[in-house]
Amino acid sequence: MAHLGDLLEDQSIDFTFTTITAEGVPFTLAGSPVLSVYKSNSVTQTTTGPTLSVDFDGVTGLNHVRMATTDAFYVVATDYSVVITTGTVNSVSVVGYVVAQFSIENRNTKANLVSILGTALTETTGLIAAGFKKFFNVATPTGTINSIPGAVAGAAGGLFIAGANAATSVTTALTTNITGNITGNLSGSVGSVTGAVGSVTGAVGSVTGAVGSVTGNVGGNVTGSVGSVTGAVGSVTGAVGSVTGAVGSVGTGGIAAASLATAAVTKIWDAANFSGISTGRTVTITVKDTDGAGAAIDSVRVEIWDSAGTTTMYAIDLATDASGQSTFTLADGTYMHKLYKPGSYTFTDATFTVSAVATTFEWYGTPVSTSAPSAVTTALSGYAVDAAGSVAVGVQISVRSPVPNLHNTTNIVTDLKTTDTTDSNGYFSLTVMRNEPLLVTCSAMGLEDYPITCTAGTADLSTLITPKY
C-alpha cells in the first residue's frame, strides 16, 4: 500500500501498485477490476476519481492509477482509502485489498504560496511569489507591517498615490514642503509659494496679500492697488478708475484719442507729463510770441500728434518752461503740433518733420487782448429742473472745459463767474468765456453734464438740464 500524502483541494495525483501471485510473481489484475474510494471511517464509497490502467506500459502486474479529487465527494480536512472492490489475481479474488491512502489538506499545513488555511489562491503565474520576494527579500528592513496604514490608498488615513496614478484627491492639509511639480489642481488655500510659478492656466479667483512681482501678461482683472509696473503695459481695455501720482511716460504708439474714455481722461489728463516715445531723437521746441519782441512764452501746453492731428497723440508737455521750451523724444517722421494757452495766446496747428538735420523748432503764438473782457465773455443763465419740471433749489451749477479736447483750464479774465448756486426758483447766472466749448455741471445727484458753446447774449438752459435715467 502507498501513502500519497496530504493533497490540496481539487488536486490530481498519479501512482502505481503491483499485483502478484502467492509465490510473489507479478500477475495481471483481472476480473473487470474496479477501484473504490472510502472517506475516513465512513462506509460511503465512490468509484468517481480513480482511473485504473492494468499492465501499464505492457508490464505484467504493473497497474497505474490517476487519482482526481475534483468531485464534490472529496473535501478538505478528510482522509481517503483507495480499495479494490472488484478483481482477481491468478483467479484469486483480491477484493478488499487497499492500494493507497491520502488526505486532503488534513495534515496541519497552515499556509503556502498556493493555499492559506485551506483557501486556494488564484494568481497570474508568478505574481504571488514575486510579490512575496519583493516584500521580504530585503537585507535590512526599515519597517514592519505596521508601517502600512490600514486604510485604502488615496483615502483618508491611507497611502498617498503618486506618479501616473495620482488621480485621488487630497482632502487633508499638507504641512510638508513640495519641491517637485504639481500638474493637477489645488482647491483651497496655499500658505506660500517660494520660487517662480511657471504658468497658471485658468482664472485665479483671488489673491490676498501683496504680489511681489508679475513678469508676463495679466489677462484678467486686478482689484486693489498695484505698487508699481515695470515695463510696458500692452493695452488697457475699459475705463481707468483713477491714477494716483504722476504718469512717467507713454512709450511708442502714444495714446489713441478714440480709446480714452471720458472718465479716465478726466482723472489722468492734468496729472500726465508725457516724455514722449521711448526711443528716437531729442527734439527741442521753443514757443515765442509774434508781437515783434520774440519773447518766450511759458506755461504753454504742447501736444504732439500724428500728421493728421486726429488719431494718436504721441507726447504732451503741460507747460513750457521759463524759456518757452519743451523737450521730447521723437522718432523720425512727420507730426502735427497743437499749442494751447487760452486767454493769452492763440496758435495755429501745423505739421513738422523730425530728421537727422531737423531736431530744433520755433513756433509762434498771437497774443489775445485782455483789455476788454466783455469782448471775450458772455452771460450764461438758466434754470435747473428735473424731468417733471420741478426746479432744483440750492444746487451748485458750474462750468468747466471738457477734457481732453478743450484746454480752457485757466481763465485769465478777472471778471469771470464760473460757479453759482440756484435760488428758490432754480435760477442761476454765470459769466463765461464766449465761443469756448464748455461743460455745464450740477452738484445734484442724477443731473447730467451738458456741453454748450455760448455766444454773445444769454442762454437759457432750463430745457437742457434733466435727470439721468
Instruction: Please give the pLDDT value at position 85.
Output: 96
The chain-wide mean pLDDT, for the chain, equals 76
Show the cell assigned to 192.
506660500
The total of structural domains in the chain comes to 3
Judgement on whether residues 355 and 440 belong to the same structural domain of the protein: no
CATH code of the domain containing 316 = 2.60.40.1120
Residue with the larger pLDDT of the pair 21 and 254: 21
pLDDT band at 411 (very low <50, low <70, confident <90, very high): very low
pLDDT top residue among 219 and 251: 219
Residue 271 in domain: yes
Residue 91 is predicted with a pLDDT of: 94
Please state the rounded mean pLDDT for residues 424-434. 79
How far is residue 210's CA from residue 391's CA, in Å, rounded to a whole number? 50
Backbone angles phi, psi at 4, to 5 degrees: -85, -5
Is 332 in the same domain as 383? no
- Can you give the residue range of the structural domain that contains 97? 2-104
Q: Are residues 259 and 326 in the same domain?
A: yes
Q: Is the same domain home to 360 and 386?
A: no
Q: Tens digits of per-residue pLDDT, 97-132? A: 999 999 999 986 555 556 677 677 777 877 877 877
For every residue of 72-89, DSSP letters joined together read TT--SSEEEEEEEEEEEE
With 90 as the cut, is the pLDDT of residue 407 above it? no
Q: Indicate if the pLDDT at residue 255 is higher than 80.
A: no
Residue 370 has pLDDT above 70, yes or no: no
Model's pTM, two decimal places?
0.31
**Closest C-alpha to 234, from 251, 211, 212, 258:** 251
Say whether pLDDT at 27 is over 80: yes
Q: How far apart are CA 111 and CA 17, in angstroms?
A: 31
DSSP 113: S
Return the CATH number at 27.
Answer: 2.60.40
**Exposed/middle/buried for 164, CB within 10 Å: 0-12, 13-18, 19+?**
exposed
- Single residue among 89, 104, 119 that ends a domain in this structure: 104
Pairing of strands 29-39, 119-120: unpaired
Q: Look at residue 412 in the predicted model and tell me its pLDDT.
A: 39
Omega of the bond leading into 404 within 30 degrees of 0 (cis):
yes
Query: Do residues 304 and 352 both lie within one domain?
Result: yes
> Do 361 and 259 share a domain, yes or no?
yes
pLDDT in tens, 374-401: 446 777 887 777 667 777 888 888 887 6
Q: Does the pLDDT value for residue 259 go beyond 50?
A: no
pLDDT band at 426, cuts 50/70/90?
confident
pLDDT band at 464 (very low <50, low <70, confident <90, very high): low
For residue 89, what pLDDT is reported?
A: 95
Q: 369, 374, 361: which is closest to 345 by C-alpha? A: 369
Instruction: Give the pLDDT mean for 425-440.
Output: 76
Rounded to 5 degrees, what angle do the CA atoms 35, 31, 64 make?
45
